[in-house]
Structure 1
Amino acid sequence: MVPLDPVPLPIDHLLRGAPDAPALIERERHWTYAECEAAVAAIAGWLDGQGLAPGDRIATWLPKTALACLMPLAAARAGLIHVPVNPALRRAQVAHILADSGATLLVTQPARVATLEAGDLPSGCRAVVDGEVPTTGSGPGRSNADPAGLAAILYTSGSTGRPKGVMLSHANLWLGAIAVAHYLRLTPDDRVLGVLPLSFDYGQNQLFSTWAAGAAVAPLDYLAPRDVVKAVARVGATTLAGVPPLWVQLLEVDWPAETTLRRLTNSGGALTERLVRGLRARLPQADLYAMYGLTEAFRSTYLDPALIDARPDAMGRAIPFAEVMVVRPDGQRAAPAESGELVHAGPLVAQGYWHDSERTAQRFRPAPDWSASGGTAVWSGDTVVEGADGLLRFVGRDDEMIKSAGNRISPLEIEEAVLAGGEAREAVAVGVPDPRLGQAITVMLAGDPAGEAALRTRLRTLLPSFMQPTTYLWRADLPRNANGKLDRAAIRSEVTA
């Protein structure tokens, strides 16, 4: 198990495996730790020759190539700030990120360059195709960068407004890698299948936590869930991370009778009890880690997999290095079973939003005076409750809570009830203006509308009258954002339009 050393280093020191051990698994090539270290040096040496100033932003708009995986370390070694751009984004979204970050260099592919229009590259920024960046040759050794210095800017998906650039230091990224490698009990013989976007903090941490443990990561760009199942077998994956929509898809395909998976991890949305039961039945040999996180503080809680069967609704306790509090509106600590806002303090808290002091001030505020960590905390806007068992449970985002007939209703509670019977694959509950109720409940569902009558009948026995949805909108599939999560903002906009 990776020890919990609280002293961070520059992130280009993260390649900690044995020199001859596999570190990065591509279909065509298995890179050893020594080869990855040499490639990081070569890329950093190339960056040093590009006329960039310390602290300049370098953006990558790439699929999960070796260059995309190693660039975060190489940029840090060259004294630059890495801005990974989700390859699923289109030119207008990419142009916004480049302009907002003030990127001076974009590393991408010829086909992606061809989609850019005049003005998409901001003044002073040039595009370089990935084939021009060497992964062999001379370059600098490991850096002595200040761990408190800025290492990366990760942009949120933009589903809740214009994308925000979250500023992450070396220490944020290093300690996040150590914490996850520790509580997942990663060892050098693990192989992690990386299916999440590298622009997503959860996806990028798959690289960093794997390398912190001296294990191997196999990045995968996939088109269909069956591709994931095949890749697990091909690389002998022991660990798979996902978000709830991916688990829904993976439960709909056939799995071999035996698999090498021994660890599943979830974040980016709460697991429903139905998903927990489904994953435990389909992959009983794999530990299932339910987790909660937000880019502004990386990861806040995880649930010990030994508790998942008995507590499928829980999001667990604070991860290492995190102080997680449940805070009442008056700023005091919430009592057990009393709901409050989740507030996260400690060294995993990011440095704010890039060039956005207004939104930084809204989300990054002083920790409560009774906090053990003190300093700046992330006030999540998420409502949670701590049970008598000491485990946190997600209630909902304050701006998503439904206020109907004088009741505050968690959309998650409705969604779990809707999904419990199997009539729909996915569901999102939204409050819509209603002159009599204040808000009426509409549910958008993925599935066959022929099941609606049975669903309505079942919910009448399961939910009180004030929680009964009034309208069901059936779709073949629900909208997702670029990170694969349900795009609740888009759904809410469509439902309330």
Structure 2
Amino acid sequence: MPESPDPTVFPLDHLALRGARSAPALVLRDRTLSHEELNARVSALAKWLKSQVGEAGARVATWLPKTELACLMPLAAVRAGLVHVPINPLLKRAQVTHILGDSGAALLIANKARLDTLEPGDAACAVFEEPKVWAEVEEQGGELPPSSAAPESLAAILYTSGSTGRPKGVMLSQANLWLGAVSVAHYLKITPDDRVLAVLPLAFDYGQNQLFSTWYASGSVVPLDYLTPRDVVKAVAKHGVTTIAAVPPLWLQLAELDWPEDAAASLKRMTNSGGALTLSLVRALRTKFPAADLYPMYGLTEAFRSTFLDPALVDEHPTSMGKAIPFAEVLVVNDLGAEAAAEEEGELVHTGPLVAQGYWQDAERTAERFKPAPAFSKLGGMAVWSGDRVKRDAAGLLHFVGRRDAMIKTSGNRVSPQEVEEAAVATGLVAEAVALGLPDPQLGQAIHLVARAMPDAVKDELIPALTRALPNFMVPRHVHWRDAMPVSPNGKLDRVALAAELAEGNVR
């Protein structure tokens, strides 16, 4: 590969044009699409989208597992001059209704089971089941040519949880997504011979990048909605998978399984994001897959990806986040606003062309997170101030210290404590609640809910009620009931005191 990646930006849908015409691009359950067929299907779907939604820049949402349409929609929407809003298939009615309303989606494509969970008025837009879409695409016929979208034009809105309130939409441009694909394909050294197993949700930034970076490198994607970790092992063996991107809880499960020798040997690279790898897990993966390169990484949706650790350094620095990826400048800013010295703790600040355009229709929260880069930045411009505390060692490698805000990171998902608390109160069983994340060897953090019950509430009904209202990863693993909640001097529920009690095991 070249010493530095090509910074030239093309519209995102041009990814469908890069591979050899007859080479495999997308391995579906019932068939395989070549790169030529991928482009044709993207073009046909784009034409149908444009016939349904004529307004340029309108938002179109998908709420799907990893079907053909879910994989093609990011490129087809761009080719039709629209903005894609992928919705995590694990989300439930309340979260989906919020995303549809907040984004102003003009169209939603989902499957029947998910649509049946919505109530009248939840989706103020056109709604289609996926089979009907494909039937109309075939009936309509024809294709749209590749787009000529400007690099700064909006391509997608990805919804991510914040430490307070409901999910907010991160606005990503053609340049953000294209250069993210180029960067990852470059440092992972993906080739046309690679088969990438797409296990991460396509509504995640790195979930989408599994598609984009592989197609940029003319490789092949194998989408997988798995029920158990053993399904992943079977898929690797069946398809000769060379690359897996996963989060720590899944890596832990995969490391514990017995792998067929051929399947383990086919893996060339393992990439991790969504939480730090522990020393014991790094050693387990290196033992289980000695021939595969392990890439620990750090990222945030607001800038996609910030750092990766060179696999050659993993054994010596197993807990490091590494250094900046191509096209990123990653700074450590101390509490005085200056560049932190070696081993001095500071806030991770990311600047460069991967920085998103802010939050959709939310100027206040955009101003809190997106600010001018510090004066000592080389790239300058707008930066994402992550809120994460890190240190840079004498060798220039970054190390995670902790989060400044209350965000809970569980199973690779970012969870807003406020959203869990609001759901608990909404059940009618809880008067007050505080959600906190505690370290967990499998989840990264487990959600603990400290709550005061409503009079005559049946406490055992809380978890079933939350399971109906929230995706599984947001449901608390532990509930601690209190007759009274501690209050801080400013009159608010004392999260700090509760977190300390939880950590010491003193909350009943």
Tell me which interval the TM-score lies in, with the shorter structure as reference length.
Answer: 0.7 to 0.9
Distance apart, 1:252 and its partner CA: 2.4
Equivalent residue number for residue 131 of structure 2:
131
**8 Å contact from structure 2 (residues 247, 274) kept in 1:** yes
Equivalent residue number for residue 281 of structure 1:
287
Deviations 1:129-149 (A, max 9, x none): 111223653111100011100
**8 Å contact from structure 2 (residues 163, 405) kept in 1:** no
Counterpart-to-counterpart distance in 2, 1:444 and 1:263: 27
Distance apart, 1:378 and its partner CA: 0.1
Counterpart-to-counterpart distance in 2, 1:25 and 1:490: 43
Deviations 1:441-492 (A, max 9, x none): 9956469xxxxxxxxxxxxxxxxxxxxxxxxxxxxxxx9x969799899998
- Return the letter of the residue paired with 1:39: R
Distance apart, 1:113 and its partner CA: 1.5
**8 Å contact from structure 1 (residues 301, 319) kept in 2:** yes
- What residue ranges of structure 2 are gaps of 5+ in the alignment? 411-416, 418-435, 443-466, 481-494
Equivalent residue number for residue 265 of structure 1:
271
Say which SS state the counterpart of residue 233 (structure 2) adopts: helix
From 129, 153, 158, the equivalent of 2:157 is 153
Counterpart-to-counterpart distance in 1, 2:314 and 2:67: 35
**8 Å contact from structure 2 (residues 11, 148) kept in 1:** yes
Distance apart, 1:126 and its partner CA: 1.4
Distance apart, 1:161 and its partner CA: 3.5
Deviations 1:341-392 (A, max 9, x none): 0000000000000011111011000100111111110000000000011100
Counterpart-to-counterpart distance in 2, 1:130 and 1:442: 37
Question: Structure 1: which 4+ aligned runs deviate by more than 4 Å?
Answer: 157-160, 441-447, 481-497
How many residue pairs get matched? 428
Distance apart, 1:17 and its partner CA: 0.6
Counterpart-to-counterpart distance in 1, 2:393 and 2:86: 38
- What residue ranges of structure 1 are gaps of 5+ in the alignment? 402-410, 416-429, 431-440, 448-478
From 105, 117, 120, the equivalent of 1:118 is 120
Q: 1:399 to 1:216 in 2, by over 3 A?
A: same
Deviations 1:52-81 (A, max 9, x none): 300100000111011110011000000000
In the superposition, the TM-score normalised over structure 1's length comes to 0.81
Equivalent residue number for residue 76 of structure 1:
78
In the superposition, the TM-score normalised over structure 2's length comes to 0.80
Equivalent residue number for residue 60 of structure 1:
62
The answer to whether 1:13 aligns with 2:17 is no
- Return the letter of the residue paired with 2:182: I
Distance apart, 1:92 and its partner CA: 1.2
Counterpart-to-counterpart distance in 2, 1:489 and 1:269: 21
Equivalent residue number for residue 327 of structure 1:
333
**8 Å contact from structure 1 (residues 243, 485) kept in 2:** no
- Return the letter of the residue paired with 1:241: A
From 384, 391, 410, the equivalent of 1:385 is 391
Identity of aligned residues (%): 62
Equivalent residue number for residue 232 of structure 1:
236
Say which SS state the counterpart of residue 405 (structure 2) adopts: helix
Distance apart, 1:398 and its partner CA: 1.6
Distance apart, 1:302 and its partner CA: 0.3
Counterpart-to-counterpart distance in 2, 1:144 and 1:220: 32
Say which SS state the counterpart of residue 381 (structure 1) adopts: strand
The answer to whether 1:366 aligns with 2:372 is yes
From 205, 225, 234, the equivalent of 1:201 is 205
Aligned runs of 1:102-113 on 2, under 5 Å? 102-113=104-115
**8 Å contact from structure 2 (residues 53, 106) kept in 1:** no
From 300, 305, 314, the equivalent of 2:311 is 305
Equivalent residue number for residue 43 of structure 2:
41
The answer to whether 1:338 aligns with 2:330 is no
**8 Å contact from structure 1 (residues 157, 483) kept in 2:** no
Q: 1:487 to 1:196 in 2, by over 3 A?
A: farther
Say which SS state the counterpart of residue 133 (structure 1) adopts: helix
Counterpart-to-counterpart distance in 2, 1:198 and 1:69: 8
Equivalent residue number for residue 178 of structure 1:
182
Equivalent residue number for residue 30 of structure 1:
32
- Return the letter of the residue paired with 1:309: D
Aligned runs of 1:394-433 on 2, under 5 Å? 394-399=400-405
Q: Which moved more, 1:185-194 or 1:486-495?
A: 486-495
**8 Å contact from structure 2 (residues 163, 406) kept in 1:** no
**8 Å contact from structure 1 (residues 269, 485) kept in 2:** no
